[in-house]
Structure 1
Amino acid sequence: MTIETKLAELGITLPDAPAPAANYVPYVISGNLLFVSGQISALKGRVGDQVGTAEAAEAARGCGLSLLAQAKAALGTLDRVERVVKLGGFVNSTADFTDQPEVINGCSDLMVEVFGDKGRHARAAVSAPALPRGVAVEIEAVFEIE
């Protein structure tokens, strides 16, 4: 089954790949690795204060959709993805908030839904006192490609 078929089966429509917001490129291919720059959530606010964990996890899923859109823009097709290697997740959260892993699971779960075992990855899920534009979540990715 192609990834496009899998996305359709899951009822997922990818957004357009977002344009960079500053002086960087949205992705870089080096050898057999695709590095996708951090994708920010549409949701703004600090998790543990204005934003709840479940809402932030949904925002992380949105970041994952943007990561997939960037990968598709880079590769032409997501069928070239051999493996999701690593996600780096950043959560704009209060000093006492400790559920960053549950937030970033929103993106991790999406990768496994879409790619199956090839979607299982290494990961970081860390707190940040602020993120660009006041967003709640930002996630970057590394994909192994054919």
Structure 2
Amino acid sequence: MPGQIEDRLTALGITLPEATAPVANYVPSVRTGNLAVISGQIPLSDGKPAFTGLLGRDLSLEEGQAAARLCGVNLIAQLKAVCNGDLERVTRIVRLGVFVAATPDFTDHPKVANGISDLMVEVFGDAGRHARAAVGCASLPLGVPVEVDAMVEVAD
């Protein structure tokens, strides 16, 4: 029976993809006690980058926010796998690390990161409010503009 989180996802029109497998020598998540650490998620759709390029040159702020939101959808898919299919076990999004590939003069990294931050609150309510870092970088894997990792508290 779907829970509150699944109902919110449905209301938002979000269908979670299957959690993607790692593409290098790492695991998609690590669980220690009640803390789940989710490896970096990029804006993949159907296994391919949905966005490529740099903020400030190739992509608008709104496109960057959409890319961050898609990273969030993929992150929630990883969380669902960590929680054995039960997203009701997520008790708190503790921290998000948001990496934004941008030109040197681009300074709206926090606004790009709002794409995922807003999604976490929409989906998890107050438990989705989190600490966050939004950091600019020169490039990211596959030429994507955003990558996001997370620390999440999960109930047993």
TM > 0.5 between the two? yes
Q: For residue 121 of structure 1, what is the aligned residue in structure 2? A: 130
Q: For residue 137 of structure 1, what is the aligned residue in structure 2? A: 146
Deviation at 1:18, TM superposition (A): 1.3
| Corresponding residue to 1:52 among 60, 64, 79 | 60
Percent of residue pairs bearing the same amino acid type: 56
Q: Distance in 2 between matches of 1:58 and 1:10?
A: 14
> SS of the counterpart of 2:77?
helix
Give the AA of the match of 2:118: D
Q: Distance in 2 between matches of 1:29 and 1:110?
A: 23
CA deviations 1:37-60 (Å, max 9, x no partner) are 000122110110011110010000
Q: Distance in 2 between matches of 1:30 and 1:11?
A: 32
Q: Gaps (5+ residues) in structure 2? A: 44-48
Q: Distance in 1 between matches of 2:125 and 2:4?
A: 12
Give the AA of the match of 1:128: C
Deviation at 1:33, TM superposition (A): 0.3
Q: Distance in 2 between matches of 1:10 and 1:132?
A: 28
> SS of the counterpart of 1:109?
helix
> SS of the counterpart of 2:97?
strand
Q: Does 1:64 align with 2:72?
A: yes
Q: Does 1:105 align with 2:114?
A: yes
Deviation at 1:19, TM superposition (A): 1.3
Q: For residue 46 of structure 2, what is the aligned residue in structure 1? A: none
> SS of the counterpart of 2:106?
coil
Deviation at 1:135, TM superposition (A): 0.8
> SS of the counterpart of 2:71?
helix
Q: Distance in 1 between matches of 2:92 and 2:19?
A: 20
Aligned residues: 146
Q: Distance in 2 between matches of 1:92 and 1:10?
A: 27
Deviation at 1:2, TM superposition (A): 2.0
Q: How does 1:59-98 map to 2 (within 5 A)?
A: 59-76=67-84, 77-98=86-107
Q: Distance in 1 between matches of 2:60 and 2:127?
A: 30
Deviation at 1:26, TM superposition (A): 0.3
Q: Distance in 2 between matches of 1:85 and 1:74?
A: 15
Q: CA RMSD in A?
A: 0.9
CA deviations 1:101-136 (Å, max 9, x no partner) are 110110000000001110000000010011111111
Deviation at 1:78, TM superposition (A): 0.8
